[in-house]
Chain A
Amino acid sequence: MSQVVDAPVPVEVELRPAARLDMRRAVRLGLSGGVAMVLVCAIGMVAAFQPRMLIDPILPMGTFFLYLLPLIFGWTASQPPPTLEGFEPAKTGARNILAGALAGVLGGLCVGLLLIVITTWDLRGVFINLSPQLAEIISFGLPVAAAIPVIALVAGVVGALGGAIHLLSPRPRRATMSALAWVLVFSLFTDIFGQLFDALSLDFVIDFLYTGRGGALTIAGALVLFAVFFAFYWWLGGRESTLRQRVQAMPAGRRSRWQIGAAVIILVILYFVPRIMGPFVSQILVTAGIYLLMALGLNIVVGYAGLLDLGYVAFFAVGAYSTAILTSPQSPAFSPEISVLASIPFVMIAAAIAGILVATPVIRMRGDYLAIVTLGFGEIARILLNSEWLAPYFGGAQGITNIPDLQIGPITFSTPQDYFYPVFLFVVLAAYITYAVQNSRWGRAWMAMREDESVAEAMGINIVTAKLSAFVVGAILASFGGTLFASQIGSVFPHTFDIVVSITVLVIIIVGGMGSVPGVVLGAIVLIVLPNLLREFSEYQFLFYGVLLIVMMLKRPEGFIPSRRRAQELHAEELSQDAWLEIYGEKGLEEKVPEGTT
């Protein structure tokens, strides 16, 4: 069928002017930022972080985190509204800086108020962190009357800088932000960079950048780092997307050769990671890897099959305890003392049975009910392991000790550095299983069940088998984590298998991106590696999780690296007619209504 298609006629549409930056919003955000700053002080974070210097001697960590808030809120306050169809793109200018500064000053004044409160009344009976030391820190050592304008000024300047980010064009903006982020990384993780440069015998770099091993960045070091990374990102410009296009344009054979080459390089680097990083960092990586293994398993249960399992730690416990019983000479009732490697098939069987045991009673349950019941199962598992009644089998609160190290042929894995490799191997295996199953008959069946259980059943899917198999696959992956954990630590105790583990694993997949393997990996890095590397943070770990969860749910509910389908699902309505009406509702409609109709 041939049809004459008219050439599209360019239509000159007069664009409406974009909405101006809303100053009331800046006031609101400034006050919220102020509340956040006061909270950060009141929970003792500022005082706890203060002894650590980020850049010596001008930037202690406490002050940095306190004034990070006006930067973020100033940036948010001056964010131009989204460009909508039929409207001009929003212009940026002095108004952005003003909005940022306004938000910052308001935040600073809140802190000033806090300073007056601390110095006037002694509230330490209730708020133990509102101490004179805190007053000293937030007042920069100045008397109160002089300190308040200074705080407001500093916060205002920081807020204005946050607003000014919007004025930069993309290339310098990206270079600046990336360079600042790298300076921050270098100042926060001094240990790691110390180890790294040490291993590469680049001692003079440490001497130049830092005040000593594990010390703070020097001013000169910070400036040089900023300059180097700024130059690098400036040069990079848009080159990496051109490179990506070039790789995609390659013929399949050459591309796969490139991919194999890249994979080999990554493997070689990974091989050296534990050797260079030493036991402390390797232990963190091993812990993160075990969490990642569980997260990949739970991702199948929750992300694919849509079965919200809040008692996932039970399967981790099954893996750890069955390894302990099978391998340890200390196992109270039954101790065949086989090797850890030989125990793996039995652990898988135990995990599969546990998966079926948990899944059977919840076959006809959905959503919230399923979550509550599995939550109960998780707790039951821990209480049973801890009970006197079963102590003759599981050792009760004393647990089971003397679990041997993993041994494969002549190689014995004992240090955290050694365990990095088997953990990595199991993570790769779990990721492979996730990918392989995703586009298979049962993967589709799980997704269909998640979308609409009764329709899935009416379309020929056996719901019983689908649920059982999802639980079993998830249970087996978690049990691998348990086996590795038990043999690395060498002992298992009931209190390890707390509900907190289930929640952490769930948060990893929610924050990372449900249903997406790269997302889950990033989630594990952000939630396990970072808080453990920053020892100052460990006390505030759960606060950090909570804040992260709230921010993610509000701003990016699909997670850091979402699967394609979840991103589409959650943003299908964005910038549609509804959003248009919501933002420009009354004004837009008023103009449209012909005169005399009201």
Chain B
Amino acid sequence: MALLEITGLSKAFGGLRAINGLDIYVDEGEVVSVIGPNGAGKTTFFNLVTGMETPDEGSIVFDGQELVGLRPNQILQLGMARTFQNVRLFPAMTVLENVMVGQHARTRAGLLGAIFKTPSQRREEREIEERSKEVLSFFGTRLAGYRHDQLSMVLSYANRRRLEIARAMATSPRLLLLDEPTAGMNPRETIELTELIGRLRSERAYTIVLIEHDMQVVRNVSDRVVVLDHGVKLTEGSYDEISTNENVIEAYLGRPAEMGA
């Protein structure tokens, strides 16, 4: 059975059908890329899956559990974490704190524990810090050392994207949803991030769904590619299959002129 199984998912904003009867599945351990032209409904798809928006119709089943109707924090609790297309860190918190927040759902200490400094609270606090540093060490020297105590707002663009991934990793997810992880990166950073996505799977065994425009990245990391256009699934298959599919080329490049609109 698939880890994530979506059937008949629909969402309209006023008259615009952003997602229209979408069926998608993701198997455990897979890396699935979602591609499509601008406005195809990719980010809306992520928002629906993570509970940040409520679908009009359809069902989203994650690990045997229906997600529709759950709050975003409950969905995260089940083991799904995301990043955002327009990086959304907690700007006035330090790098380390951003990652520590990620473990909120996996820890239990309450306010009274903090006020009375109970042994269990102190132990947990230590563990949160250690685990956060461990997660940051996944990014090599990029987010190490003195960077831990820097506010996330002072980071470079590429580092902010890395930190967002680190924050998502800290939530101990099974499924990672990455929204355009290479957007705005230079070619070298893009290559580095492609490798990183590979390592996320090989070293950490995450199942990954990513939205991506850079076809090099899509080709290098994905097992399967799903193509969206106007809220419906155009086609899916391996990179080679979809890269030669006429419908896909048409959706990206437009119809030939003689066929009319």
**A95 beta carbon closer than 8 Å to chain B:** no
| Contact (A458, B76) CB under 8 Å given A441-B107, A441-B109, A441-B114 | yes
Q: Which of A560-589 contact B (CB under 8 A)?
A: 565-566, 568-569, 572
Is B111 an interface residue when CB atoms closer than 8 A count as contact?
Answer: yes
| Whole-angstrom distance between the Cβ of A435 and the nearest chain B Cβ | 10
Interface residues on B, range: 35 or more
CB distance from B203 to the nearest CB of A (A): 22
Chain B residues with CB under 8 A of A565: 92-94, 151
Contact assessment for A440 and B121 in the assembled complex, using a CB-CB cutoff below 8 Å: yes
B52 touches A454 (CB 8 A): yes
Q: Are B92 and A460 closer than 8 Å at their CB atoms?
A: no
In angstroms, Cα B114 to Cα A469, docked, is 13
Q: Knowing A444-B97, A460-B73, A569-B153, say if A455 contacts B117 (CB, 8 Å).
A: no
Q: Which chain A positions have C-beta within 8 A of B76?
A: 458-460
Whether, in the assembled complex, A301 has its beta carbon less than 8 Å from a beta carbon of chain B, the answer is: no
Q: Are A457 and B151 in contact (CB under 8 A)?
A: no
Contacting pair B114 A448 (CB below 8 A): no
Residue A452, interface by CB 8 Å: yes
- Which of these, A440, A443, A461, A569, contacts B92 with CB under 8 Å? A569
Question: Is the Cβ of B90 less than 8 Å from the Cβ of A572?
Answer: no
* Chain A positions within 8 Å of B107 at CB level: 441
Tell whether A252 is near chain B: CB-to-CB under 8 Å: no
The interface-forming segment of B9-17, B77-85, B214-222, B228-236 is: B77-85
Contact of A457 with B101 at beta-carbon distance under 8 Å, contacts A447-B90, A451-B93, A569-B151 already known: no
Determine the chain A residues whose CB is within 8 A of the CB of B41 once the complex forms: none
CB neighbours of A447 from chain B (8 A): 90, 92-93, 97, 101
Known: A459-B76, A460-B81, A565-B92. 14 other contacts (CB 8 A): A441-B104, A441-B125, A447-B90, A447-B97, A447-B101, A451-B90, A451-B93, A455-B88, A456-B101, A458-B51, A458-B76, A459-B167, A463-B73, A572-B153
Residues 423-463 of A, flagged 1 when their CB comes within 8 A of B and 0 if not, give: 00000000001001101111111011001101111111111
Q: A473 an interface residue at 8 Å Cβ cutoff?
A: yes
Given known pairs A451-B93, A459-B167, the reply for A436 and B88 (CB within 8 Å) is: no
Q: Is B196's CB within 8 Å of the partner chain A?
A: no
Interface 1/0 per residue, B85-104 and A, CB below 8 Å: 00011111110010011101
Alpha-carbon gap, A566 to B93, bound state (A): 10
Whether B119 is near chain A, meaning CB under 8 Å from some CB there, is no
Does B101 contact A459, Cβ atoms closer than 8 Å? Answer: yes
Q: Which of B100, B104, B105, B106 has the most CB of A within 10 A?
A: B104
Query: What are 12 A-B pairs at a CB distance below 8 A?
Result: A439-B125, A440-B109, A440-B114, A442-B110, A447-B97, A454-B72, A458-B82, A460-B104, A460-B105, A462-B71, A566-B92, A568-B151
Q: A444-B93, A444-B104, A447-B92 are in contact. Are A459 and B81 (CB under 8 A)?
A: yes
**Alpha-carbon separation in the docked complex, A454 to B109 (Å):** 22
Q: Does B171 contact A (CB under 8 A)?
A: yes
Q: Cβ of B101 and Cβ of A461 under 8 Å apart? A: yes
Select from chain A the residue with minimum beta-carbon distance to B106: A460
Q: How far is the CA of A16 from the CA of B174 in the complex (A)?
A: 58
Please name the 4 residue pairs, one residue from A and one from B, whose CB atoms are nearest each other, closest first.
Answer: A460-B105, A440-B114, A451-B90, A460-B76
Please state if B50 and A444 are interface contacts (CB–CB under 8 Å): no
Q: Is B71 within 8 A of A444, CB to CB?
A: no
Shortest CB distance B155–A (Å): 12
Output the least CB separation between B208 and chain A (Å): 17
Q: Kindly state whether residue B193 has any CB partner on chain A within 8 Å.
A: no
* Inter-chain contacts of A460 with B (CB < 8 A): 73, 76-77, 81, 102, 104-106, 171
**Which residues on B sit within 8 Å (CB–CB) of A441?**
104, 107, 109-110, 114, 124-125, 128
CB of B185 within 8 Å of the partner chain: no
B151: nearest residue on chain A (CB-CB)?
Answer: A568
Whether A459 and B121, one on each chain, are in contact in the complex, defined by CB atoms closer than 8 angstroms, is no
- In the assembled complex, the Cα of A451 lies from the Cα of B101 at a distance in Å of 12
Cα A569 to Cα B94 with chains together (Å)? 11
Q: How many angstroms from the CA of A504 to the CA of B94 in the assembled complex? A: 31
B154 interface contact, C-beta 8 A: yes
**Residue of chain B at shortest CB distance from A569:** B92
Give the distance to chain B from A458, nearest Cβ to Cβ, in Å.
Answer: 4
Least CB separation from A570: chain B residue? B92
B171 partner residues in chain A, CB cutoff 8 A: 459-460
A444: chain B residues within 8 A (beta carbon): 93, 97, 100-101, 104
